[in-house]
């Protein structure tokens, strides 16, 4: 080997050495054949109404809107909320993640961040009047909506739309603000 060639070889090796030091290649450590669990992350699968007739406070009626496999996939299972005429009900609203074991009660987090959340109840019927009973930590306090009183009057077949709004830093009582975390509509039968 000529001296020149040997010299070039040394330089070539030098380049390779320097470039290896300068270049710390980033690496993907995941295994392509084992995709990560699709249930990772937070999901609200269920909106549950726990309804107590104030005349007989020891009986709790449970109705829910459930979409356990999340968005897409199987269609949600929707209960009809059955109420009696001329009653006053005390209602607790729960948001659950039933895809987790144990079931994750997301409404506890909503309560903890009450100043950024708002539950809205909408029904086209005049037979059902809903009053929100709980308030957030804003000053002055604004309605939250996890606890409510429902007053029924005449017989009706109607619907109830429940919306959970996330209003981080922008909550002012205006229901149109923010991003929708939950928006469900259930049939209501008042007999």
Partner 1 sequence: MRRIFFLLLLYIFSTSFLFAQADCHYTLKIKVVDEQHKTVLPGAVVRITNTNKINETDVNGIATFESLCSDSYEVIISFLSYHTISQKIELQSNKTITFELSPSVKNIANVTILSERTSVQSTMSKIELKGIDLEKTRGLSLADALKEIPGVTTLQTGPTISKPIIQGMHSNRILIINNGIRQEGQQWGAEHAPEIDAFIANKLTVIKGAGSIKYGSDAIGGVILVEPNPLTDSSGIHGELNLVGISNGKQGVGSGILEGKLKKIPLSWRVQGTFKKAGNIKTPDYYLANSGFEEKNFSWATQYASKKFKTELFYSQFNTDIGVFKGAHIGNLTDLEKAFNASTPFYTSGFDYKIDRPKQHVEHELFKSKSDYVFNEKSKLSLVLARQYNLRDEFDKDLPLNDSLAALNKPELHYEITTYTTDATYQHSFTDKLTSSIGFNSIQQVNTYEGRAFIPNFINNNYALYSIHQYKLEKIMFDFGVRYDYEYLKIYQWKSNSVLYSPERTFTNLSFNTGFDWDINKKLSYHLNVGTAFRAPSVNELYGSGLHHGEGKFIYSNENMKPEKAKAIITGIELQNFKRISGHLDFYYKQMDGYIFLKPTFPATLSIRGAFPSFQYEQRDAYFTGMDAWLHYEITEHLKSTHKINIVRAYNTNDNTYLPYIPSDRFENGLKYEFKETKHFKESSVDLHVLYVAKQTRVEANSDYKEAPNAYFLLNADAGTSIHIGKQHYEFGMSINNILNTTYREYMNAFRYFTDEPGRSVVLRFKYHF
Please report, as ranges, the residues that interact with partner 1 according to CB under 8 A: 7-8, 11-12, 15, 18-19, 22-23, 25-28, 30-38, 40-42, 44-47, 65, 67, 69-76, 104, 106, 109-110, 112-113, 163, 166, 168, 170, 176-184
Provide the minimum distance between the beta carbon of 74 and partner 1 in the complex, in angstroms, as a whole number: 7
Provide the minimum distance between the beta carbon of 55 and partner 1 in the complex, in angstroms, as a whole number: 32
Whether omega before 102 lies within 30 degrees of 0, making that bond cis, reads yes
Measured CA to CA, the distance from residue 2 to residue 81 in angstroms comes to: 93
Provide the minimum distance between the beta carbon of 190 and partner 1 in the complex, in angstroms, as a whole number: 24
For 3, phi then psi, to 5°, come to -60, -40
Measured CA to CA, the distance from residue 90 to residue 130 in angstroms comes to: 10
Compare residues 86 and 168 and give the one whose CB is closer to partner 1: 168
Q: Which pair of tokens denotes residue 63?
A: 């109705």
Provide the minimum distance between the beta carbon of 12 and partner 1 in the complex, in angstroms, as a whole number: 6
Compare residues 23 and 139 and give the one whose CB is closer to partner 1: 23
Measured CA to CA, the distance from residue 186 to residue 91 in angstroms comes to: 15
Provide the minimum distance between the beta carbon of 136 and partner 1 in the complex, in angstroms, as a whole number: 15
Compare residues 156 and 178 and give the one whose CB is closer to partner 1: 178
Q: Which pair of tokens denotes residue 17?
A: 């050495």
Measured CA to CA, the distance from residue 81 to residue 187 in angstroms comes to: 6
Compare residues 162 and 190 and give the one whose CB is closer to partner 1: 162
Give the chain's radius of gyration (CA, Å): 28
Compare residues 184 and 188 and give the one whose CB is closer to partner 1: 184
Measured CA to CA, the distance from residue 189 to residue 123 in angstroms comes to: 12
């Amino acid at each position: 080997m000529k001296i020149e060639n040997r010299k070039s070889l040394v330089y070539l090796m030098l380049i390779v050495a320097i470039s290896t030091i300068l270049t710390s290649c980033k690496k993907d450590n995941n295994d392509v054949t084992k995709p990560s669990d699709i249930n990772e992350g937070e999901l609200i699968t269920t909106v549950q109404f726990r309804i107590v007739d104030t005349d007989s406070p020891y009986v709790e009626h449970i109705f829910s809107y459930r979409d356990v496999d999340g968005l897409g996939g199987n269609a949600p299972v929707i209960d009809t909320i059955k109420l009696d005429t001329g009653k006053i009900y005390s209602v607790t609203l729960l948001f659950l993640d039933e895809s987790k074991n144990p079931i994750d009660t997301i409404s506890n987090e909503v309560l903890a961040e009450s100043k950024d959340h708002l539950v809205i109840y909408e029904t086209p019927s005049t037979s059902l009047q809903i009053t929100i009973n709980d308030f957030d930590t804003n000053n002055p306090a604004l309605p939250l909506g996890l606890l409510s009183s429902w007053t029924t009057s005449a017989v009706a077949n109607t619907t109830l739309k429940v919306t959970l709004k996330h209003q981080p830093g922008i909550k002012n009582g205006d229901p149109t603000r923010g991003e929708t975390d939950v928006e469900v509509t259930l049939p209501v039968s008042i007999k």
